[in-house]
């Protein structure tokens, strides 16, 4: 196999031999919102990159030819890893939030615990589609505002909630994706939210 | 189990790596942990050798894909073969007894605990 880059880590950090369960959380956001930075800051390994190539057949009809079209899309994503304990390992996936990638998502990321929508307030409209889609898929999520230095004027969380038309129950949190403790807080905010949802479900069933 | 067509852009490479097949089994999730059940042997397909070396310790499918620089779908095919030959075992998400029997809240508590200890 010719390797595409010479960046392969000299030594891998293997998982514990007792590791038996992989869990998933997705970080979604617009271009340059800080997804890779966030994954890197909390991951125990340097973020790795891979891709999936998908052929979508018979999705709609070609308007000009009136025949079924087959389209091939490559979606690249990076990911990091957090060993939660000897048995459980959490994978964090950073993925683009653009509309044209969404049909891949159900398949790539099915079974995720939940999602983090990373927002750059200079380009809030970049997150509209992702939020819409997560609501539609009923994937629980939190919104993390990545505060860049040049982020002026500083919108308050309430203003951002309005701009994103976010429901009241969706947690929002400020963060600096470069800082490990901040990234960790974002993850905890999400899992706290998931816990509350699970608790109310267990109460009703 | 649905089988989906794949197209990795370079048909020759796909043909070589997967023996001409272009359908992947969805049995392996991105975070299914793969564990080698044996050592590679001489004359084995080089991708199989690399996988068996990599998975001496549990390794998620997505990590195998990143390390081998092969698309997910191709790795699924390779793993399917190795699994069918009994050369690797698969630890599927939440299939382990210690997790499968946990209520969602207990599972999430373990996740929270792990994150707080970071
Ligand atoms: N000042 C500041 N810079 C940041 C912050 N987060 C990320 N950056 C920088 O912003 C740039 C984009 O960050 P990435 O993490 O690559 O963003 P991304 O969402 O992965 O980008 P794409 O994968 O290209 O869509 C990088 O140069 C980061 O160093 C932040 O909180 N503050
Ligand atoms: Mg990135």
**Residue A58 backbone zone (phi > 0: left; psi -120 to 50: alpha; other: beta):** left
User: Residue B112 maps to which CATH number?
Assistant: 1.10.10
Q: What band does A95 get if pLDDT is binned at 50, 70 and 90? A: confident
Does residue A11 sit within a domain? no
Nearest CB to A20 within list B33, B72, B73: B33
pLDDT over threshold 80, residue B89: yes
Number of separate domains in chain B: 1
Residue nearest to atom 2 of ligand 1 (CA): A148
Write down the pLDDT at residue A4: 42
The whole-angstrom separation of Cα A85 and Cα B99 is 13
B34, part of any domain? yes
State which residues form the domain around B80.
11-116
Is pLDDT at A205 greater than 80 in this prediction? no
d(CA B7, CA A71): 10
In a domain, A1, yes or no: no
pLDDT at site B11: 53
Interface of A with B in 25-84 (CB under 8 A): 42, 48-55, 57, 72, 74, 79, 81-84
Q: For A41-45, A51-55, A113-117, B34-38, which range has the lowest pLDDT when averaged over its residues?
A: A51-55
pLDDT at B97: 87
Size of interface A-B (CB pairs under 8 A): 155
Is residue A35 over pLDDT 50? yes
Q: Is residue A66, in this structure, part of any structural domain at all? A: yes
Ligand 1 atom nearest A146 alpha carbon: 31
In a domain, B4, yes or no: no
Average pLDDT over residues A176-202: 96
Q: Report yes or no: B40 at the A interface, CB cutoff 8 Å.
A: no
Q: What is the CATH number of the domain that holds A84?
A: 3.40.50.300
Q: Within a domain: residue B1?
A: no
Atom index in ligand 1 nearest the CA of residue A29 equals: 19
Cβ-based contacts of B62 with chain A (< 8 Å): 48, 50, 79, 91
Residue A79 within any structural domain of the chain: yes
Using a 10 angstrom Cβ sphere, with 0-12 exposed, 13-18 middle and 19 or more buried, the burial of residue A192 is: middle
Strands A88-96 and A68-83: antiparallel
> For A4-17, what is each residue's pLDDT tens digit?
444 444 568 899 99
pLDDT bracket for residue B10 (50, 70, 90): low
Mean pLDDT score of chain A, rounded to an integer? 85
pLDDT of the residue at B26: 67
Q: What ipTM was assigned to the predicted interfaces of this complex?
A: 0.85
Indicate yes or no: CB of A1 within 8 angstroms of CB of B47: yes
Beta pairing partners, A145: A119, A174
Domain boundaries, position A165: 17-204
- What's the pLDDT score for residue A5? 42
Number of domains in chain A: 1
Maximum separation of any 2 CA atoms in chain B, in Å: 49
Write the pLDDT tens digit of every residue in B36-54: 999 999 999 999 999 999 9
Distance A178 CA to ligand 2 centre (A): 13
Nearest atom in ligand 1 to A175's CA: 31
Q: Is A177 in the pocket of ligand 1 (CB under 6 A)?
A: yes
CB contact under 8 A, B6 and A53: yes
Residues 6+ apart with CB under 8 A from A167: none
pTM higher than 0.90, yes or no? Answer: no
Residue A122's DSSP bridge partners are: none
Distance B100 CA to ligand 2 centre (A): 33
Cβ neighbours of residue A11 closer than 8 Å, sequence gap 6 or more:
none
Please report whether residue A121 resides in a domain.
Answer: yes
The predicted structure's pLDDT at residue B40: 96
Is A29 within a domain? yes
Determine if ligand 1 sits within 6 Å of the CB of residue A179: no
Q: Ligand 1 centroid to A116 CA: how many Å?
A: 15
Question: Rounded to a whole number, what is the distance in Å from the CA of B9 to chain A's nearest CA?
Answer: 8
At A110 the pLDDT is: 84
* Helix segments in chain B, DSSP class H: 11-18, 46-54, 61-68, 72-84, 97-100, 104-116
B33 touching A (Cβ < 8 Å): yes
**CB atoms near residue B5 (< 10 Å):** 14
Find the A36 Cα to ligand 1 centroid distance in Å.
Answer: 7
């Amino acid at each position: 196999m010719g390797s595409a880059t010479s960046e392969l880590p000299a030594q891998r950090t293997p998982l514990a031999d007792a590791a038996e369960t992989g869990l998933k959380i997705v970080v979604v956001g617009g271009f340059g919102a800080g997804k890779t930075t966030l994954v890197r800051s909390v991951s125990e390994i340097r973020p790795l990159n891979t891709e999936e190539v998908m052929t979508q057949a018979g999705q709609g009809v070609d308007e000009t030819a009136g025949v079924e079209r087959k389209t091939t899309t490559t979606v690249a994503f990076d990911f990091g890893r957090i060993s939660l304990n000897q048995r459980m390992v959490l994978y964090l996936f950073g993925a683009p939030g653009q509309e044209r990638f969404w049909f891949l998502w159900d398949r790539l990321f099915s079974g995720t615990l939940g999602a983090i929508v990373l927002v750059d307030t200079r380009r809030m409209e970049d997150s509209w589609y992702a939020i819409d889609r997560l609501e539609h898929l009923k994937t629980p999520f939190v919104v993390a505002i990545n505060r860049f230095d040049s982020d002026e004027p500083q919108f308050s969380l309430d203003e951002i909630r309005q701009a994103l038309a976010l429901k009241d129950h969706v947690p929002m949190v400020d963060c600096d994706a470069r800082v490990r403790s901040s990234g960790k807080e974002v993850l905890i905010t999400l899992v706290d939210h998931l816990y509350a949802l699970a608790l109310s479900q267990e109460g009703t069933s | 189990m649905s089988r989906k067509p794949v197209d990795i852009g370079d048909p020759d490479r796909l043909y070589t790596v997967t023996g001409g097949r272009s359908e992947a089994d969805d049995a392996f999730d991105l975070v299914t942990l793969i564990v080698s059940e044996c050592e590679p042997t001489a004359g084995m397909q080089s991708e199989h050798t690399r996988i068996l070396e990599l998975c001496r310790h549990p390794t998620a499918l997505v990590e195998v894909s990143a390390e081998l620089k092969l698309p997910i779908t191709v790795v699924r095919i390779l793993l399917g073969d190795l699994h069918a030959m009994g050369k690797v075992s698969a630890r599927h998400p939440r299939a382990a007894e210690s997790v499968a029997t946990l209520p969602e809240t207990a599972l999430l508590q373990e996740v929270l605990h792990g994150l707080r200890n970071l």
